[in-house]
């Protein structure tokens, strides 16, 4: 398992918030826009029992969630609906290891070895549903870059996908 190190991030939030307490408990709603800019996540790995910050894993200059709505209610799965998600100057390092596992699959906070093994025993099943329902109507990518390495196949394969541009609906 690998850990994450947040090198930097800037958050800007413009939203309206609605909180209510009813017979069944608290209900929370939020809607508006969110910018998460200058994000840099680094991969942390263990070397001789010590956490060492390694390579860039995921970064972008700008991520914008436009027209988002978030709702939280008792006995209901939290829900996030996003009108448009835009990523500017995004970078991702994707690695399939020798066992065929994607590096993003096991990411989490960096922990000591003993805590990491205890946490993996208590982690949810791989097919467990996300703790929040997410719907995104449109995604735009401007100037994306992906470094991909497949160490599972022989001979190993690597590719650099650059100048990714486009949208998904």
The predicted-structure confidence for 41-97, as pLDDT tens digits, reads as follows: 988 877 777 777 778 889 999 999 999 999 999 989 999 999 999 999 999 999 998
- For 98-114, what is the mean pLDDT? 69
Interatomic CA distance for residues 71 and 153, integer angstroms: 43
- Confidence (pLDDT) at 108: 57
Please name the helix (run of DSSP H) or strand (run of DSSP E) that holds residue 96, with its range, or none: strand 91-96
Interatomic CA distance for residues 22 and 25, integer angstroms: 5
Q: What is the share, in percent, of the chain residues with pLDDT greater than 90? A: 60
- Confidence (pLDDT) at 135: 95
Q: How far is C-alpha 99 from the geometric centre of its chain's CA atoms?
A: 22
Q: What is the share, in percent, of the chain residues with pLDDT greater than 70? A: 83
Interatomic CA distance for residues 54 and 45, integer angstroms: 7
For residue 117, list its beta bridge partners. Answer: none
């Amino acid at each position: 398992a690998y850990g994450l190190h947040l090198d930097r991030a800037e958050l800007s939030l413009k939203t309206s918030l609605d909180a209510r307490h009813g017979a069944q408990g608290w209900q929370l709603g939020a809607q508006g826009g969110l910018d998460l800019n200058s994000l840099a996540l680094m991969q942390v790995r263990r070397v001789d029992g010590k956490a060492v910050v390694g390579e860039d894993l995921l970064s972008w200059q700008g991520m914008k969630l436009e027209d988002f709505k978030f709702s939280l209610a008792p006995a209901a799965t939290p829900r996030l609906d996003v009108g448009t998600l835009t990523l500017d100057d995004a970078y991702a390092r994707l690695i399939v290891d020798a066992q065929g596992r994607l590096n993003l699959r096991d990411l989490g906070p960096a922990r000591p070895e003993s805590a990491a093994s205890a946490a993996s025993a208590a982690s949810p099943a791989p097919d467990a549903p996300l703790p929040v329902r997410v719907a995104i109507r449109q995604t735009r990518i401007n100037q994306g870059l992906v470094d991909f390495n497949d160490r599972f196949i022989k001979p190993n394969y690597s590719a650099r996908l650059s100048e990714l541009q486009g949208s998904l609906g």
